[in-house]
DNA sequence: TTATATGCAAAATGTTTGCGTAACG
DNA sequence: CGTTACGCAAACATTTTGCATATAA
């Protein structure tokens, strides 16, 4: 973990929020959480810090088929499952496919640094209450 | 290939643009191309048709670490490589990992319908002219 | 003490939508 | 002909930015 340039209380809270949840929150959800601690924090500060933390590789950014981003406090390589019904994003605890990068490098002929793998489908809890479209949950705690 | 509800000249052009390029264009690039044929086409029409074509599974939507989407006329399962320097997205012609979905299903316990795999790194042409940051190419024809 | 970060509000970006008109089948 | 799609422009949601002030090191 590299040292950050400055650890403000705002930055600390944002990092805390991300590291103390297993969900994959949006900027807005992080904002709501952070405001419980620091009511005057601004959304601009949330975005500036998220950008900063991504650059410092303290967190990672996720992007699925939606208009907004999600963030993940877990920077280790791991895979995700996205439920098409409720929109929930969960970690998939399966072994990392280490030789994939080399395989791809042979094909594309460039430098392959890493990869990202996402699964799509319907999660168990949506299957159970097997109905049409659930209301989307932004984040489950 | 399911029949589309109506094949307007606008929809045809959008489909043509996507199917006659191996790049993975943004809505805006598609708009520029379509305007060469049909100068009065509107961006709203582009978006409406892209959405429609995704639903009909005539094209697929891609989403990477950026603020905008890309689209792909190739609906078969295949993987992508994203160059961190020039932003280009290219196909990775490697075998599809068919048993991955089953593996993930065992872990998450839901229904896993499909997966998406993306590689990140620096492409050959950026490595060759090995300089800092290239100007971003939206799409190469 | 000074560079870095903040809050606020305004701007920018990418996408969607309402409405009256056009045109596919 | 009736329904579906269009062009246009305004609305929307998310993210970024400029500026004057505050604060961590």
* B86 reaches A (C-beta below 8 A): no
Of B26, B48, B72, at which residue does a domain stop?
Answer: B72
Domain identity same for A3 and A68: yes
Read off the pLDDT of residues A11-68 as tens digits, 9 standing for 90 and up: 999 999 999 999 999 999 999 999 999 999 999 999 999 999 999 999 999 988 777 8
Cβ distance A103 to B116 less than 8 Å, yes or no, reads no
Q: In this model, does residue B30 exceed pLDDT 80?
A: yes
Range of the domain at A129: 77-141
Q: How far away is chain A from the Cα of B27, in angstroms, using its nearest Cα?
A: 14
Based on the structure, what is the number of domains in chain B?
A: 2
Closest residue to C8 (CA, C1′): A42
- Please state, rounded to an integer, the average pLDDT across all residues of chain B: 89
A interface mutation test: which of B50, B51, B110 has the most A CBs within 10 A?
Answer: B110
Q: Name the strand (E) or helix (H) holding B35.
A: helix B27-37
pTM of the model: 0.87
Q: Are residues B63 and B87 in the same domain?
A: no
Summarize pLDDT for B83-101 with one digit per residue, the tens: 988 888 999 999 999 999 9
Q: Which residue of A has its CA nearest to B113?
A: A121
CA angle, residues A93, A81, B22, in degrees to nearest 5: 120
Nearest to A121 among B69, B111, B120 (CB): B111
Inter-chain residue contact A110 with B118, CB threshold 8 Å: no
Q: Domain of B27: which CATH number?
A: 1.10.10.10
* Among the listed residues A109, A69, A75, the one whose alpha carbon sits nearest the alpha carbon of residue A91: A75
Nearest to residue B80, comparing CAs of B66, B67, B59, B94? B94
**Residues A37, A38, A44, A47: is their CA dihedral positive or negative?**
negative
Among A27, A50, A72, where does a domain finish? A72
Residue A90 phi/psi, 5-degree rounding, is -130, 155
Do residues A39 and A84 share a domain? no
Is residue B136 located within the same domain as residue B120?
A: yes
Of B72, B87, B117, the residue at which a domain comes to its end is B72
Which residues of chain B make contact with A71, given a CB cutoff of 8 A?
Answer: none
Give B105-141 pLDDT, tens digit per residue: 999 999 999 999 999 999 999 998 765 545 556 665 4
Same domain, A50 and A21: yes
Question: Do A108 and A62 belong to one domain?
Answer: no
């Amino acid at each position: 973990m590299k040292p950050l340039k400055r650890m403000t209380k705002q930055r600390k809270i944002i990092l805390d929020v991300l590291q103390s949840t297993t969900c994959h929150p949006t900027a807005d959800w992080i904002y709501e959480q952070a405001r419980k601690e620091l009511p005057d924090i601004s959304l601009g500060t949330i975005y500036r810090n998220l950008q900063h933390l991504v650059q410092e590789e303290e967190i990672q950014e996720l992007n699925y088929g939606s208009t907004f981003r999600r963030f993940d406090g877990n920077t280790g390589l791991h895979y995700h499952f996205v439920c098409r019904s409720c929109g929930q994003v969960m970690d998939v605890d399966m072994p990392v496919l280490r030789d994939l990068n080399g395989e791809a490098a042979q094909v594309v002929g460039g430098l392959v640094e890493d990869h990202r793998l996402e699964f799509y489908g319907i999660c168990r809890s949506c299957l159970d209450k097997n109905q049409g479209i659930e209301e989307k949950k932004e984040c489950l705690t």
